[in-house]
């Protein structure tokens, strides 16, 4: 089969290779024929060998935002049959520690990330433990289902980890796919949403936000706070920019909230006295858990979250171009089709 693999730790070490298909699944495992796999921001960080991604094991087939159809079932794998449709949970817990038993598999001390620590879904076939699968309804298109994982991350951030009320002003900094989806989830919760980006986001990303009916602000000559109708009730920081996070403390009203979902590749020096005096609630949000995948699948199947404006499809053979387009912000969410 063909697979898109990071071959070594060095930045840019990515190639489409011909390799053996996964072996027959063992007990509790299945093999999926991949229908589609998204290129995630974590894949881009791994590609660049950014700080915080030292745990990536190479060589490895990238990809954790995938969906497909079961083509092989291992022994002692009840509940799964050939032809079943599924996506995989990306952050995979051990299943027996206190965090996993609470349902917080994203906080498992022994968690692993498929596609970064073992072979993932940027390939024609992928093998995975059945306990990490989420069954998909027949109503959902498998190509659209590649968006379930990032939507689950947005749901975890904008619903589980962020308090907001109908009518709140929610500002999202960073118009990447997670920021855009956080904005859509916040709107579903009744908030007024503004997406903030920079001039680099004008060609491809911010027009999508406008198409989706979200407010748009471009920072640069004027600060974000200067361009808002009033102080934000909630700010969701999805860019991973230390500058954007620093500006959040001037953008949110007293008693408001800041949620962090972006990944930061360098340390920061923030003047936190503003947060203290403003009595801001600051929360991190990492990845997602099983219930978020179920919620995401339902929203996509019902058409409550539009997929087509957010994605661009690439043949798997054009994977390196998809990475280049994502890194240069020419595309919001590349989806690879084997």
pLDDT given for residue 246 in this prediction? 87
Structural domains in the chain?
Answer: 2-151+288-337 (3.90.180.10), 162-284 (3.40.50.720)
Q: What is the mean pLDDT of residues 13-29?
A: 95
Q: What is the mean pLDDT of residues 128-157?
A: 96
pLDDT given for residue 271 in this prediction? 81
Q: What percent of the chain has pLDDT over 70?
A: 100
Side-chain half-sphere CA neighbours of 312 within 13 A: 17
Shortest CA distance to 236 belongs to which of 244, 228, 227?
244
pLDDT given for residue 142 in this prediction? 97
Each residue of 148-184: pLDDT tens digit?
999 999 999 999 999 999 999 999 999 999 999 999 9
Output the CA–CA distances (angstroms, integers) from residue 186 to 44, 147, 156, 170, 304, in the order listed: 26, 17, 11, 7, 13
pLDDT given for residue 338 in this prediction? 96
pLDDT given for residue 152 in this prediction? 98
The two tokens of residue 202 are 């004008």
The residues, any chain, with a CB within 8 Å of residue 307's CB and separated by 6 or more, are: 144, 147, 300
pLDDT tier at 269, thresholds 50, 70, 90: confident
pLDDT tier at 203, thresholds 50, 70, 90: very high
Each residue of 205-234: pLDDT tens digit?
999 999 999 999 999 889 999 999 999 999
pLDDT given for residue 272 in this prediction? 85
Cis ω on the peptide bond leading into residue 181 (within 30° of 0)? no
pLDDT given for residue 61 in this prediction? 98
Give the single-character DSSP code of 159: I
Cα torsion for 243, 282, 186, 204, to the nearest 10°?
A: 20
Each residue of 144-158: pLDDT tens digit?
999 999 999 999 999
pLDDT tier at 290, thresholds 50, 70, 90: very high
pLDDT given for residue 285 in this prediction? 98
- Mean pLDDT, the chain, integer: 95
With 90 as the cut, is the pLDDT of residue 5 above it? yes
């Amino acid at each position: 089969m063909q697979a898109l693999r990071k071959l070594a730790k060095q930045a840019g070490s990515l190639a489409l290779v011909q390799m053996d298909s996964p072996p027959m699944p063992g007990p509790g495992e299945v093999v999926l024929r991949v229908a589609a796999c998204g290129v995630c921001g974590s894949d881009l960080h791994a590609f660049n060998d950014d700080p915080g991604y030292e745990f990536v094991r190479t060589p490895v087939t990238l990809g954790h935002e995938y969906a497909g159809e079961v083509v092989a079932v291992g022994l002692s794998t009840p509940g799964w049959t050939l032809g079943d449709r599924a996506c995989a949970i990306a952050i995979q817990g051990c299943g027996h520690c206190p965090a996993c038993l609470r349902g917080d598999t994203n906080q498992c001390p022994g968690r692993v990330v498929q596609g970064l620590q073992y072979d993932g879904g940027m390939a024609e076939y992928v093998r995975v433990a059945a306990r990490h699968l989420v069954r998909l309804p027949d109503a959902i298109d498998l190509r659209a289902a590649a968006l379930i994982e990032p939507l689950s991350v947005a749901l975890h951030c904008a619903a589980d980890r962020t308090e907001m009320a109908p009518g709140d002003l929610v500002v999202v900094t960073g118009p990447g796919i997670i920021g855009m989806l956080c904005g859509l989830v916040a709107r579903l919760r009744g908030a007024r949403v503004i997406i903030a980006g920079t001039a680099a986001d004008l060609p491809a990303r911010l027009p999508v936000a406008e198409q989706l009916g979200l407010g748009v602000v471009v920072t640069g000559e004027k600060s974000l706070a200067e361009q808002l109708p009033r102080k934000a009730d909630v700010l969701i920081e999805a860019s991973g920019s230390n500058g954007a996070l620093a500006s959040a403390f001037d953008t949110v009203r007293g008693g408001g909230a800041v949620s962090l979902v972006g990944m930061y590749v360098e340390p920061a020096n923030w003047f936190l006295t503003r947060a203290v005096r403003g009595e801001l609630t600051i929360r991190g949000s990492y990845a997602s858990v099983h219930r978020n995948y179920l919620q995401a699948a339902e929203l996509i199947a019902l058409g409550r979250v539009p997929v087509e404006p957010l994605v661009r499809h690439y043949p798997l053979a054009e994977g390196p171009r998809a990475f280049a387009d994502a890194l240069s912000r020419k595309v919001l969410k590349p989806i690879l089709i084997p």
